[in-house]
Structures are given as C-alpha cells and as structure tokens.
Amino acid sequence: MSRLPAEKLSSEKKRALDALAKRPDEKIDFSDIPEIRELPSDRVIGKYYRPRKTAVTIRLDADVLAWLKASGGGYQTRINDYLRQRMRRNRKSADRQ
C-alpha cells in the first residue's frame, strides 16, 4: 500500500495520540458520528474504505485454480472481485423483490 509522506509529529502530538490509543473503546464518545449501515453505491473500494480481510482456506477445482493463476499474479484478488460482483448482483436482485 503506498502512503503519502507524512509530517513529523511533535512530541506533544505523539503523547496525545498515545493517550488516545490507550483509551478503551467504552470511554470514546461516538454520539456525534452517525452509524454507517450500508456503504453508498458509488463508492470506490480502497479510496476511503478498505474492507477488512479475513484469511480462509478454500478448496477449488484444479482446473479453476489453473485458469485463475494463468492470467498472472493477484489471483486471490480476482477471486475476491468475482465474489464481490456476485454479492452485488445478488443484493440488487433481492432489493427488487
């Protein structure tokens, strides 16, 4: 993941961030932040929102895996993209009913 160059933090800002990081979630006031129930449909994955990844083990047919790997690296990302497309289509058809 590429990062933009960040400004050096002053020792005061570092202390403030450390104090925030140590604060338990129960002590943080989220009342002024609306809950996000569903992401907007015009979102771009990775621009402002990056879904949390979960490691899984999955069994695929050998020919399917060979087909995915044949187009180069990043086959796991492509699997995720295919599944995300299917998920979106499924949601759209469920919304119409």
Report pLDDT digits (tens) over 54-95: 999 999 999 999 999 999 889 999 999 999 999 999 988 887
Please enumerate in sequence order all residues whose Cβ is within 8 A of that of 66, keeping only pairs 6 or more positions apart, or say none. none
Backbone angles phi, psi at 42, to 5 degrees: -90, 15
How is residue 76 written in tokens? 């796991």
How is residue 30 written in tokens? 């989220």
* Of 3 and 60, more confident: 60
Contact 49, 43 (CB under 8 A): yes
Amino acid at 22: K
Q: So what's the pLDDT on residue 96?
A: 76
* Of 19 and 40, more confident: 19
Q: What is the pLDDT of residues 25-36, one digit of tens each?
A: 888 888 888 877
- Domain residues of the chain, as ranges? 11-96
Please enumerate in sequence order all residues whose Cβ is within 8 A of that of 76, keeping only pairs 6 or more positions apart, or say none. none
Amino acid at 4: L
- Whether pTM > 0.75 for this model: the answer is no
User: Average of pLDDT values for 32-57?
Assistant: 76
